[in-house]
A and B are shown apart, each in its own frame.
Chain A
Amino acid sequence: MTLDAKIPSGPIEKKWDTHRFNIKLVNAANKRKYTVIVVGTGLAGASAAASLGELGYNVISLCYHESPRRAHSIAAQGGINAPKNYTNDGDSIYRLFYDTLKGGDYRAREANVYRLAQVSGNIIDQCVAQGVPFGREYGGLLDNRSFGGAQVSRTFYARGQTGQQLLLGAYSALSRQIDAGKVKFYPRREMLDLIVSDGQARGIVARDLVGGDLEVYLAHAVVLATGGYANTFYLSTMAKASNATAIWRAYKRGALFANPCFTQIHPTCIPQSGPYQSKLTLMSESLRNDGRIWVPKKKGDDRNPGDIPEAERDYYLERLYPSFGNLVPRDVASRRAKEMCDNGFGVGPTKLAVYLDFADAINRNGKKWIQEKYGNLFDMYHEITAEDPYKTPMRIYPAVHYTMGGLWVDYNLMSTIPGLYVIGEANFSDHGANRLGASALMQGLADGYFILPYTIGDYLATAAFKPMQDADKAVKEARDATQARIARLLAVKGKRTPDDFHKALGQIMWNNVGMGRNKKRLTEAIKQIVALREEFWRDVNVVGGPNDFNSELERAGRIADFLELGELLARDALHRNESCGGHFREEYQTEDGEAKRDDKKFAYVAAWGYAGEGKTPVLHKEPLTFEYVKPSQRSYK
């Protein structure tokens, strides 16, 4: 299969404009003849469903939560980027484009990233108009902060709850369309299969999580906005129920899965405290603007942090990266923290933590200033650890936080299945091998508000559709397959709980496919995952029945998919014999321990195709070419 990304020709700053002119439009009066399903109601899903409804399409929106507002975008803390240059510090669309491409270690498409930077300013306009209470200055105009890896202040924020406010904005737009009758919303529904008929995505099978009924939804196009797959690692900063089932089902129906090994480990999370731990909590990266990261210079120094004099502290990021200091990109900060702990400099009861210290900022600007900026984060830390971060430094450690990989999409955000669109974190498109801070919110909303609503029209206007009914072969096949799968899960009646298997998978993933990867451990991990998966289908115990509110059944289905996805993730990591961004192969590093890319051999998107049960997936390559930004080794020194 040749992958055609459908990048428009012409100079980069004109591509999106040219494309919007060249694509076909659906006549305003005809839009109501088309139905689009949007799965997921996070930033991407809610903004897409609302915008499509506003345009006049009939929209079916579903999510596994009871309300659109519960989607995990709500938990994003720090902010959202846009090159408004309100701070007059030299920002521009080109600079945001450049930073994002470089931050992604040159593993993203130039045209996509440029478009993202182009539309990001409109997002801020839109959100402000919706009543999102962004932080402001005394003159009443918007405030900006600088954020991980950027040397300009281009990040808009709403205290430490930017994701919440943006999601509530998109949710309000969605609610308005629900009120107007253009969007039909179905809560507590989980997509369990994709219906592909005559090669087109025409619907989904979903389970009503309250009564257990399997429902079929039919449409002219399907949009997946179901988020990332970081919960493959069990412990992550994802919500407990965040899962990969929708994209994995689509993969098994023929959509390609791109760059699964590009996972992001976030440097500033609250360290794990015990084996009962169910998830990890992120402390916004914005804290690195004012906090200083350090460890004791002496190995195993057990003194209280306050008793360790200045001269005996190692502010290692400031030492190693004088120009970026504590603001180096996430992958670099994470790897260095792990290295410090691996070398015996870790702090706290588990020794798997480094300090993030605000003493200097408090001395400089006062406690009130810190409180205004980060109050909710400090409270959250206090609540979880029973330590007061105004008095004693926070302890932080890296945790899995985001997945840059996802379903392969072209410039129109369409997957390899015609009519199946993938937006937000669920696709692979814009972040390359590493995502910069405050870029996830930007991409989710760019896809949903300003890109998909145009590009989907081109497909709807040009494709031929035959009428679809519940009785069609493809519908019946998908529904029967879903039913059989549920029955199979319930029939095992083994001894181990689904959660047990998830934890075991998480261990394999974190230890072998986490921050540092190598050939030996990846090969071993693949074997272990395959064995664990076989054991799962032999020994899992799913209690309860299919026609009931059954959280164990929900969980078991998701874990079964993680057990397959985990293997693909490891395979991709094994095949990519280079280090780039969040993918660090220990065999490929420079003398001073930085990631060593191999542009000759690996400047491509690795898109994997499902080959059938038990068969090795097929690798397709989309070469990446760089006309504007010359790939160089990232240097933050």
Chain B
Amino acid sequence: MNFTLKIWRQKSRTDEGKLVTYTVRDISPDASFLEMLDILNETLVRRGEEPVAFDHDCREGICGSCGLMIEGRAHGPHRGSATCELRMRSFEDDDTITVEPWRARPFPIIKDLVVDRTAFDRIMAAGGYVSVKTGQAPDANAIPVPKHCAEKAMDAAVCIGCGACVATCPNGSAMLFVAAKVSQLALLPQGHAERKERVGRMLAQMDAEGFGACSNTYACEAECPKQISVEHIARLNREFIRAKVS
């Protein structure tokens, strides 16, 4: 398959950046989107040019490193998968594909398609945990958790922290990301001791990082590679109100 690529190139955080057109030829439909970029990069390097910088690592949809706006959609046209899982057979031969980085104020561009998502780590450090020191834990079966609660908690816990929810949200909100953690720990008895403080601190940190507010467009759910439901945002809101009134 052959493709025309329009890729965002930006030397550094302060550089202006622009879309640059490239062509790639004879790509196998079974190649992944990132392997297609590998092929382009090898060609560029052979010509002595700098390759396109993009974040990636596990290439099996779980580390959350990769994240590209492909034709204006976070992680490309497929629902429920990350960029690295996308295969070229999802496109038509001779397609023109525009590839951009996540665009959100709290995710400054480092180079080309690589953005800085450390804001997520700072939100997590603001209470996205249960305060239990190594060694303090009681026997694992001392805390029974109803199966449906554990399953629901797991539905939220599968978040890979890629930032697609932010990139796709018209407000640049990180609500789904924050909700996934708040909801997971609200559903489990282990998280209850700190639930009031947690939701307040994490939301405050989200605001401080410059993420926008949620206006219920549900775009995040549609583009989330792990298909995390906005139901968790509802639970976050409930946790927030609960913390205020109780």
Judge if B59 is at the interface, Cβ distance under 8 Å: yes
Q: Mark B70-81, 1 if CB is under 8 A from A, else 0.
A: 000000001011
B12 contact set on A, CB distance < 8 A: 549
Contact B89 A386 (CB under 8 A): yes
Task: State whether A497 touches B46 (Cβ < 8 A).
Answer: yes
By Cβ-Cβ distance, the 9 closest A-B pairs, closest first, are A140-B144, A129-B137, A172-B129, A125-B137, A239-B57, A133-B154, A179-B125, A128-B140, A51-B134
* Contact flags B59-90 to A (C-beta < 8 A → 1, else 0): 11111110000000000001011000101010
| Shortest Cβ distance from B117 into A: residue | A66
Q: In the complex, are the beta carbons of B137 and A128 less than 8 A apart?
A: yes
Is B38 in contact with A278, judged by CB distance below 8 angstroms? yes
Q: How does the 8 Å CB contact mask read for A444-455 relative to B, with 1 for contact and 0 for none?
A: 000001100100
A-B CB contacts (within 8 Å), total count: 223
Is A564 among interface residues, defined by CB-CB distance under 8 A? no
Minimum Cβ distance to chain A for residue B211 (Å): 16
**How many interface residues does A have (CB within 8 Å)?**
83
What's the least CB distance linking A138 to chain B, in Å? Answer: 5
Interface SS, B side: loop
Tell me whether B63 and A138 are in contact (CB under 8 A): no
Chain A residues in 8 Å Cβ range of B184? 131, 133
A24 beta carbon closer than 8 Å to chain B: no
A173 engages B65 (CB within 8 Å)? no
Known: A131-B184, A384-B85. A140 touches B145 (CB 8 A): yes
Asked if B46 and A278 make an inter-chain contact with CB atoms under 8 angstroms apart, the answer reads no
Given contacts A54-B134, A124-B140, A453-B134, contact A543 B50 (CB under 8 A): yes
A67, A131, A449, A500 pick with most chain B CB within 10 angstroms: A131
Q: A74-B62, A386-B89 are in contact. Are A141 and B134 (CB under 8 A)?
A: no
Complex partner residue of A129 from B27, B58, B132, CB under 8 angstroms:
B132
Interface string of A117-130 (1 = CB under 8 A from B): 00000101111111
Cβ 8 A contact of B131, one of A51, A69, A176? A176
Q: Across the interface, do A84 and B63 meet the contact criterion of CB distance under 8 Å? A: no
Q: Which of B22-42 contact A (CB under 8 A)?
A: 27-28, 30-32, 34-35, 38-39, 42
**Could you write out 9 A-B pairs with CB less than 8 Å apart?**
A69-B63, A74-B63, A165-B157, A175-B129, A178-B121, A239-B59, A279-B59, A499-B42, A549-B53
Q: Is the CB of A84 within 8 A of B140?
A: yes
Known: A74-B62, A125-B139, A126-B134. A175 touches B35 (CB 8 A): no
Report A's interface with B, CB cutoff 8 A.
47, 50-51, 54, 65-72, 74-75, 84, 86, 122, 124-142, 158-159, 161, 164-165, 168, 171-173, 175-176, 178-179, 185, 187, 210, 239-242, 273-274, 276-279, 281-282, 379-380, 383-386, 449-450, 453, 497, 499-500, 541, 543-544, 548-549, 551-552
Q: Decide: A552 and B87 in contact? CB cutoff 8 A.
A: no
- The answer on a CB contact under 8 Å between B145 and A276 is no
- B-side contacts of A132, CB under 8 Å: 157
Closest residue on chain A to residue B28 by CB atoms: A274
Interface size class on chain B is: 35 or more
Residue ID in chain A nearest B88 by CB atoms? A276
- Contacts A449-B134, A541-B48 given; indicate if A240 touches B141 (C-beta within 8 A): no
Most buried by A among B50, B58, B136, B153: B58
A240 in contact with B147 (CB, 8 Å): no
- Known contacts A129-B190, A168-B157, A549-B110, A65 near B38 by CB under 8 Å: no
Q: How far is the CA of A69 from the CA of B39 in the complex (A)?
A: 28
Binary flags per residue of B109-122, CB closer than 8 Å to A gives 1, else 0: 01100101110110
